[in-house]
Structure 1
């Protein structure tokens, strides 16, 4: 490790912390566990991150930045396609990323209360506010027969429920698969059929 720069060492710590803290399994993971996995003294970790909270915040910031990039890419790739496809691809991308980092488990109980609130705020800012804007845009353009606020609440409830449900395991599906089916069912009744073939600018 002596030839590794401080920046590289910090990145190595973040990589290992993300794998350990956000991976499947019990939520209680200690800094001792992290130091052991890294083969690094705890004091070296603390030189870069003064406590577990600051380390977890840095891990989450990096993960949510990646989610944001994924969602921007999904929006760019579906520009000009039917509205239902834009919503579908957005949600597939969002759920895939949130599921990968265990965001629902973090928000529902893994970690301390401050981190749970932080995760909830980041999910709201990165995912739900974008989704709400997508629904509002569809409503402004006459593509939705249902209020965008209602669709936002239904989708948000489905995301949170499915991520914390046993149903995906029982049906041998991912939460993202089931969410896609849920959204398609809801949107089937909400999107105006006459506009379904219309492309967006």
Structure 2
């Protein structure tokens, strides 16, 4: 039997309530597979009601993921707007820190590499590519066009993409007591400026 709160809302609002609950249950850190029965119990509604809005679990998960990535996209657009007209390195840092924080928050790396079925994993990969990496590639291409980068933008894009994905899946942030975003900042600095400080060898030899 459906609860009074859920059954009294409009169809549109009910669909939003279902997506909200599905996101909490399906994307919770460390959570195994959550069944539609468990979701129905959480919502206090029948599975039949859920299926009236979402014909299967796949369509429901797609709605959950699309909502998550819409939030990521808004965050990245805000980061780009905040750094407009500022130095290029600051634009890159701000964009990547926002991206890493958002992807870590929604567990995108885990979704892309293991949780869920193959179709959903491909959906996550496509959304990450469209929302994050295509924007990152354009940012590097713009920096190259302006003569701000000596390395090919494609190379920088691949290096940074690998760093983001590795850090989100790595135990290194925990081992170093840092967030993945903090380590990504160091990675970006290394990519943009190099790891060797000028003058160190001369100082040692003097």
Q: State TM-score, norm by structure 2.
A: 0.89
The CA distance in 2 between the partners of 1:118 and 1:92, in whole Å, is 23
Which of 53, 58, 73 does residue 53 from structure 1 map onto? 58
Q: Are 1:174 and 2:179 matched, yes or no?
A: yes
Q: CA deviation at 1:59?
A: 0.6
Q: CA deviation at 1:53?
A: 0.2
Secondary structure at 2:149's aligned position in 1? Answer: coil
Please tell me whether the aligned partners of residues 31 and 42 of structure 1 are also in contact (alpha carbons under 8 angstroms).
yes
Aligned pairs, number: 190
Equivalence for 2:138: 133
Equivalence for 1:29: 34
The CA distance in 1 between the partners of 2:41 and 2:79, in whole Å, is 38
Equivalence for 2:154: 149
Equivalence for 1:195: none
Secondary structure at 2:150's aligned position in 1? Answer: coil
Equivalence for 1:71: 76
Please tell me whether the aligned partners of residues 27 and 111 of structure 1 are also in contact (alpha carbons under 8 angstroms).
no
User: Residues 103-114 of structure 1 correspond to what in structure 2 (within 5 A)?
Assistant: 103-114=108-119
Per-residue CA deviation, residues 32-60 of structure 1 (Å, 9 max, x unaligned), is 12112112211111111010000000111
Q: CA deviation at 1:189?
A: 3.2
Equivalence for 2:87: 82
Equivalence for 2:202: none
Q: CA deviation at 1:89?
A: 0.5
Find runs of 4+ consecutive structure 1 residues off by over 4 angstroms: none
Q: List alignment gaps of at least 5 residues for structure 1.
A: 191-201
Q: List alignment gaps of at least 5 residues for structure 2.
A: 1-5, 196-206
Instruction: Give the structure with higher Rg (CA).
Output: 2
